[in-house]
Amino acid sequence: MSSEKKSAAAKEPLVKVEHLKQYFKVSRKATVKAVDDVSFEIMPGETLGLVGESGCGKTTCGRCVVGMYTPTSGTVTYRGKDVHSLKGKEKKEFNKEVQVIFQDPYASLDPRMTVSEIIGEGMDIHHLYMDKDARRNRIGELLHMVGLNQEHANRFIHEFSGGQRQRIGIARALAVEPKFIMCDEPVSALDVSIQAQVANLLISLQERMGLTYLFIAHDLAMVKHISDRVAVMYLGAVMELADSHELYEHPMHPYTKALMSAIPIADPHTEDTRQRIVLEGEVPSPINPPPGCKFQNRCAYAMECCHKAAPPLEEVSPGHYVACYLCQKGKEAAAAAAEEAK
């Protein structure tokens, strides 16, 4: 894995997100800043995990990346082309290469369609088969790939369980032979036992087909299991971005630290001694986020500079980006001063 990653790092990023902002008008005065100045890159063949609590803009961010929403400002480039200015043939090609797996397998499949119609939908749109036999064979192949069988093809969605439905959703995305898949909490609606199955299915598919994932989730353990790198979002902004092991072993941002301390450990003795960092207060409304650092009003180390301007996402150690004055080298002196004052 690691050698693969190194060669990937030398390559051009597959997806590049720069200063992405997505605001929604809720009334004449109020605007929800769902995604506020987010930048990251996704290398070919890697899995970028995107974690954060409910309502922090993970899904919105993901949907912007795959072109489902038109962002307020900022750019998303896929293979060097701006995703939101694609037209005609290029747009169709983009739709073929970039696919989505949705969170809710009950809502994302049309109840009036049979499984073969659902999986064949993308193939019909892009004319990916020669004749009916080829279409049927391909659908059988896809069903087999996701762990279902040919006999399921003529059934309706209501005849399946949640895990099976999610597999159908995955098969639908795979039908057009994509290169990049945005997985929008693909396992959170499922039973824990099924979660592992589906996650392992995604990993094995990635190994077999060289897929690139943007994996959105709020389950930290799941993200660690599946991701090469992880970005932590809070209130529409990326707080920390690092290699998944690095992030879990050495979290730097106070918010990430609090998140990591909340992961339950499957060992009663360690679990008993686990120190939880409990954050005070509530997540501020994205309609009126505080100026400066988004996390300042709940941060135990908030300094004066945090109230003034939002800290930029800076590389503090190789591949480890943090948006916190406390961790950034230039501001180390200020941090030390603040510590001393306490």
Stretch that binds another protein, among 2-10, 100-108, 191-199, 201-209 (CB under 8 A): 100-108
- Cβ contact 187:217 at 8 Å: yes
- The three-class DSSP label of residue 309 is coil
Contacts from 149-153 at CB under 8 Å and sequence distance 24+? 152/115, 153/114, 153/115, 153/116, 153/119
CB of 39 to another protein, least distance (A): 23
The two tokens of residue 209 are 């087909």
- Cβ contact 275:261 at 8 Å: yes
| Edge-to-edge strand list for the sheet holding 81-82 | 31-42, 15-25, 73-78, 81-82
CB of 220 to another protein, least distance (A): 25
Measuring CA to CA, which residue among 259, 234, 257, 229 is closest to residue 244?
229
**Site pattern 62..81 for another protein (x: CB under 8 A):** ----x-x-------------
CB of 165 to another protein, least distance (A): 11
Q: In the complex with another protein, which residue's Cβ is closer, 125 or 337?
A: 125
CB of 157 to another protein, least distance (A): 9
What gap in Å lies between CA 13 and CA 15, rounded to an integer?
A: 6
- Helix 115-126 to helix 132-145 angle (10° resolution) is 120
Q: In the complex with another protein, which residue's Cβ is closer, 45 or 122?
A: 122
**Site pattern 137..156 for another protein (x: CB under 8 A):** ------------x-xx-xxx
CB of 228 to another protein, least distance (A): 24
Count of residues interacting with another protein (CB under 8 A): 33
Instruction: Report CA dihedral (69, 71, 72, 74) to the nearest 10 degrees.
Output: 180
CB of 211 to another protein, least distance (A): 15
Among 99, 166, 227, 296, binds another protein (CB under 8 A): 99
Window 291-330: residues binding another protein (CB under 8 A):
none
Q: What share of the chain is helix, strand, coil (3-state, %, to 5)?
A: 40, 20, 35
Stretch that binds another protein, among 104-112, 207-215, 290-298, 314-322 (CB under 8 A): 104-112
Q: 113 burial class (0-12, 13-18, 19+ CB within 10 angstroms)?
A: middle
Among 81, 92, 250, 274, binds another protein (CB under 8 A): 92
Among 40, 78, 102, 213, binds another protein (CB under 8 A): 102
Window 40-59: residues binding another protein (CB under 8 A):
none
Stretch that binds another protein, among 10-18, 25-33, 88-96, 208-216 (CB under 8 A): 88-96
What gap in Å lies between CA 225 and CA 256, rounded to an integer?
A: 17
Question: Judged by CB under 8 A, does residue 176 bind another protein?
Answer: yes
The two tokens of residue 61 are 């961010």
Question: Judged by CB under 8 A, does residue 135 bind another protein?
Answer: no
Question: Judged by CB under 8 A, does residue 207 bind another protein?
Answer: no
CB of 38 to another protein, least distance (A): 20
Query: 3-state SS of 140-200?
Result: HHHHHHCCCCHHHHHCEHHHCCHHHHHHHHHHHHHCCCCCEEEEECCCCCCCHHHHHHHHH
Give the binding site for another protein (CB under 8 A): 66, 68, 91-92, 95-96, 98-100, 102, 104, 107-114, 121-122, 125-126, 149, 151-152, 154-156, 158, 169, 172, 176
